[in-house]
Amino acid sequence: MENPGKIAAATAALSYIEDNTVVGLGSGSTAKIFIEKLAERVAAENMTLTCVATSHFSEDLGLKLGLNVVPLDEVTSVDVTVDGADEVDPQLNGIKGGGAALFFEKIVAKASKQNIWVVDPSKESPRLGSFKLPIEVLPFGSGHVFNYLADMDLDPTFRMLDEQTRLTTDSANYIIDVDVSKVDDLHALGDELIRHTGIVEHGLFLDICDTLIVGEEPARVINRH
Ligand code: 5RP
């Protein structure tokens, strides 16, 4: 079913896109709406955009809709990336990766001059941790990484496609979801996780989002100070 908040946020993000720029295409259902609306606008206004994608799905969708989607390494930087988020706090820190695209999403975000997140109001949270934090891990030795996360009292679970099959990401890795609701210092946790061998990336996106667009009527825009 269509979510009016996601549509409102994705629509409002269009006004941040200028002609002759490089645009990062996020992943997830809100980013999908943005990509569809962007393609309509590019065709209607005959715009010249270069796009880079944060997942195979968004790349395929953009190409199918006629957008000029190129590999990230073909651009020197990205002017603006529009992406969704799973949970975002008042400081515009967030948890991402509900759609398992966090690794490419973070690489594109770090290459972007401006990161805009488009969310419906349900994603706002006074404190991060109600959404489970996705952690992307190499399949090799992932049981040991799982045990390390269990020893940290993070209640890990492998993300599954079905009872027998672990989900694999666009990079053929696994996702382990953990509970960070009892963690006070998420910056310290993020630093520790990324240093642990076998962890490829985590879904803590701290100090990355510049502008949050919350899908209300009218859309609410919050800029990072
Ligand atoms: C995918 C993501 C998405 O941006 C996040 O899950 C939000 O998705 P949606 O817009 O469908 O709620 O991080 O890895």
- Site to probe by mutation for ligand 1, drawn from 6, 59, 61, 96 as the one with most ligand atoms within 8 Å of Cβ, is 96
Name the residue of 2, 30, 59 to mutate for ligand 1: max ligand atoms within 8 A of Cβ.
30
- CA 106–ligand 1 middle distance (angstroms): 12
The total of other beta-carbon atoms located within 10 Å of residue 124's CB is 16
What's this model's pTM, rounded to 2 decimal places? Answer: 0.97
Give the number of the atom of ligand 1 that is nearest the alpha carbon of residue 120.
12
The predicted complex's ipTM stands at 0.98
How many angstroms separate the alpha carbon of residue 213 from the centre of ligand 1? 14
Cβ proximity of 130 and 89 under 8 Å? no
User: Ligand 1 center to residue 148 CA distance, Å?
Assistant: 26
**Which residues, in sequence order, are bridge partners of residue 204?**
95
- In the structure, what pLDDT confidence band is assigned to residue 49 with cuts at 50, 70 and 90? very high
Ligand 1 closest atom vs CA 32: 10
Q: Tell me the pLDDT tens digit for each residue of 76-127.
A: 999 999 999 999 999 999 999 999 999 999 999 999 999 999 999 999 999 9
Beta bridge partners of 136: 175, 201
Is residue 214 helix, strand or coil? Answer: strand
pLDDT digits (tens, 9 = 90+) for 130-185: 999 999 999 999 999 999 999 999 999 999 999 999 999 999 999 999 999 999 99
Tokens of 138: 């190499």
The reported pLDDT for the residue numbered 225 is 78
Ligand 1: nearest atom to the Cα of 101: 14
**Helix and strand element counts for the chain (H, E):** 6, 13
Residues marked as catalytic: 105
CA 195 to CA 87: how far, in whole Å?
24
Does the annotation list 132 as a binding residue? no
- Cα–Cα dist 10/59, whole Å: 17
What is the CATH code of the structural domain delimited by 4-122+206-223?
3.40.50.1360
Domains 4-122+206-223 and 133-201 share a fold: no
pLDDT confidence tier of residue 195, bands split at 50, 70 and 90 = very high
Tokens of 10: 């994705």
Instruction: Please report, rounded to a whole number, the percentage of residues in the chain having pLDDT higher than 70.
Output: 100
For the CA of 31, the nearest atom of ligand 1: 10
Residue 147 CA to residue 154 CA, distance in Å, equals 10
Structural contact between residues 187 and 206, judged by C-beta atoms closer than 8 angstroms: yes
Task: Answer yes or no: is pLDDT of 216 > 80.
Answer: yes
Q: What is the pLDDT of residue 7?
A: 97
98 labeled binding residue: yes
Instruction: Give the binding-site residues of ligand 1, using a 6 Å CB cut-off.
Output: 26-31, 83-86, 96-102, 105
* DSSP E strand boundaries for the chain: 22-25, 50-53, 78-83, 87-88, 94-95, 112-119, 133-137, 157-158, 174-178, 199-202, 204-205, 211-214, 220-223
Q: Is the pLDDT of residue 1 over 90?
A: no
- The gap from C-alpha 147 to its chain's centroid, in whole angstroms, comes to 26
Separation of 111 CA from ligand 1 center, angstroms? 19
| Topology classification of domain 133-201 | Alpha-Beta Plaits (3.30.70)
Region 3-25 average pLDDT:
98
What confidence tens digit (pLDDT) does each residue in 139-150 have?
Answer: 999 999 999 999
Q: Which of 99-103, 109-113, 188-192, 214-218 has the lowest mean pLDDT?
A: 214-218
Domain ranges for the chain, please list them: 4-122+206-223, 133-201
Does 29 count as an annotated binding residue? yes
CA distance 69 to 175: 26
